[in-house]
């Protein structure tokens, strides 16, 4: 995906070295919005390595306005054994609260959808907190459908160590 200038002059583009602190600021703001203000352990250095290291396994698109990153889509590849094709898992989508409603979220998701089509990927997926009504309404407005029969499972911390020791 190349750089795209949005209607208000903001720029949507793939993340590049130097964007790490703006991306991290959005990640922290998202954690605050999701009622987990102390959950972010990520650092600028860890982001730099993940996004731009020798073997990047995570990717990001940003919306930059007047020199500031005001929106992000952080994503990675998945693989469907059923379709035999990759997909994109959207880990974080965030637009600064004072910039919402300007089409940035839609533009970020549209860029990822276009990337899926361009590369022959079969799906674009993400999770949303069940209490986040504004985001759920937004996702429905762009045609996203809930996977209600699926429940995300997670193993972390002590449980992860215990499982690894089995």
* DSSP assigned state of 76: E
Contact between 36 and 51 (Cβ < 8 Å) = no
Query: To 10 degrees, what angle do helices 44-52 and 20-33 make?
Result: 110
Give the CA-trace dihedral at 129, 94, 5, 121, to 10 degrees.
-50
Structural tokens at position 121: 């990927």
Query: Which residues have a catalytic role annotated?
Result: 139
* Sole residue written with tokens 């990153």: 69
Euclidean distance between CA atoms 99 and 2, whole angstroms: 22
Length of the chain: 166
């Amino acid at each position: 995906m190349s750089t795209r200038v949005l209607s208000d002059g903001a720029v949507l583009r793939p993340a590049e070295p130097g964007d790490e602190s703006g991306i991290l600021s959005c990640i922290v703001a998202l954690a605050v919005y999701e009622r987990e203000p102390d959950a972010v352990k990520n650092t600028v250095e860890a982001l730099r390595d993940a996004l731009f290291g020798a073997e990047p396994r995570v990717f990001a698109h940003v919306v930059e306005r007047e020199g500031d990153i005001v929106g992000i889509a952080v994503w990675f590849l998945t693989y469907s054994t059923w379709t035999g094709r990759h997909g994109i898992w959207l880990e974080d989508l965030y637009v600064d609260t004072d910039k919402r409603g300007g089409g940035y979220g839609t533009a970020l998701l549209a860029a990822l959808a276009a990337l899926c089509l361009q590369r022959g990927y079969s799906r674009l997926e993400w999770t949303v907190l069940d209490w986040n009504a504004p985001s759920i309404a937004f996702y429905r407005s762009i045609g996203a459908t809930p996977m209600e029969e699926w429940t995300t499972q997670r193993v972390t911390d002590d449980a992860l160590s215990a499982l690894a020791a089995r």
